[in-house]
């Protein structure tokens, strides 16, 4: 069973680009997997809701609603930045769903990457 760990910016895709990331993950992943999110990602989404206005706030709210509706389990992590924590816990068999270019580079030989293409669909890099 492979783990798919979703980064904060990836959770904002449904509101920003009207792409259903969960059905897209199902479409491209022809293997057994379980989707996870870091506890610090939830903290980041709550911070966006508290500090931002308009579309960013709505995007983060939708992301939290989706996580709750899909019952996505959280991975408990120590204090730190989400990107650093993802790099630290990532294994070769993991898939990291992110749009963050810096994080993609750091994970290049460490884990598989799921990203969005043409603002329409997801691919495994």
Give CA–CA dist 111/94, Å, rounded.
6
Walk me through the domains of the chain, giving residue ranges and CATH numbers: 2-124 (3.40.50.1010)
DSSP 113: E
C-alpha dihedral sign at 59, 107, 84, 86 = positive
Q: Are strands 33-38 and 74-75 parallel, antiparallel or unpaired?
A: parallel
The side-by-side arrangement of strands in the sheet containing 95-97 is: 74-75, 33-38, 2-6, 95-97, 112-117, 121-124
**Tens of pLDDT, residues 35-75:** 999 999 999 999 999 999 999 999 999 999 999 999 999 99
**pLDDT tens-digit profile of 72-91?**
999 999 999 999 999 999 99
pLDDT digits (tens, 9 = 90+) for 87-105: 999 999 999 999 999 999 9
């Amino acid at each position: 069973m492979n783990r798919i760990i979703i980064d904060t910016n990836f959770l904002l895709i449904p509101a920003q680009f009207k792409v259903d990331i969960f059905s897209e993950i199902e479409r491209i992943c022809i293997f057994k997997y379980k989707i996870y999110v870091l506890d610090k990602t939830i903290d980041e989404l709550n911070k966006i809701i508290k500090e931002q206005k308009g579309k960013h706030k709505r995007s983060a709210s939708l992301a939290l609603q989706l996580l709750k509706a899909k019952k996505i389990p959280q991975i408990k992590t120590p204090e730190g930045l989400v990107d650093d924590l993802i790099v630290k816990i990532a294994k070769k068999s993991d898939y990291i769903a992110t749009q963050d270019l810096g994080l993609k580079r750091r994970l290049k030989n460490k884990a598989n990457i799921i990203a969005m293409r043409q603002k329409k669909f997801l691919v495994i890099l």
